[in-house]
Amino acid sequence: MTAVVGVLALQGDVREHVDALTACGVRAVPVRRESELHAVDGLVIPGGESTTMSKLLGVFELDDPLRQALRDGLPAYGSCAGMILLASRILDTRADARHLDALDVTVRRNAFGRQVESFETDLDFAGITDEPGADPLRAVFIRAPWVEEAGPDTTILATVPAGPAAGRIVAVRQNGVLATSFHPEVTGDLRVHQYFVDMVKEGRAS
């Protein structure tokens, strides 16, 4: 039976993630209600504006159900703002901003600067680019966060290779939760989405 992967559809680049997941062979559906959340095998939290998304979690009464689903082991992937929402600790955000405490990381919001300071670079990504013959992963950063500190149970998958932000952590995984600072949904490279789809399928099989 085909896996069903939801994309949290409150705000942000929802359609791009739906298209990428569909290309990876799963059924991708938008999630705005608790009933829709309970019908998926995994969930993507897209990029967007993290404080707006955190408010809408409350408006749509998804905050507590999503926290519980993550505690119960729902696989999740957050890109950019999604990384911020999944974190346990957030720097440079509003005092009333919600977060989901699904990753033992400290994330700095807008760490790379404003929109005009968006950039692209090639990354090595553990589990993807270390495959024989694999090309580097092209990563697009748009008002992106980075991980300032990762807990002992969090695996670092990618760091910035060069420049003023060299060594900064931009992809992590903790059990069934994956997060990236960058936006793989805008490049046409499906490898990060396929990595997450494989995580979802592993979760279904266990």
pTM of the entire structure? 0.94
Q: In whole angstroms, what is the distance from residue 119 CA to residue 112 CA?
A: 9
Q: Which CATH class is domain 4-205?
A: alpha beta
Residues in the chain predicted with pLDDT less than 70, given as ranges, are: 113-117
Tell me if 50 is assigned to a ligand binding site: yes
Residue reference for tokens 């969090």: 154
pLDDT at 181: 96
Active site residues: 80, 183, 185
What's the CA gap between 99 and 109, in Å, rounded?
12
Q: Nearest Cα to 158, choosing from 118, 120, 183, 125?
A: 125
Which pLDDT belongs to residue 203? Answer: 83
Question: In this predicted model, what pLDDT tens digit does every residue of 16-34 receive, in sequence order?
Answer: 999 999 999 999 999 999 9
- Give CA 52 to chain center in angstroms: 16
Contact at 8 Å (CB) between 1 and 24? Answer: no
Half-sphere exposure of 193 (CA within 13 A, CB side): 27
pLDDT at 51: 85
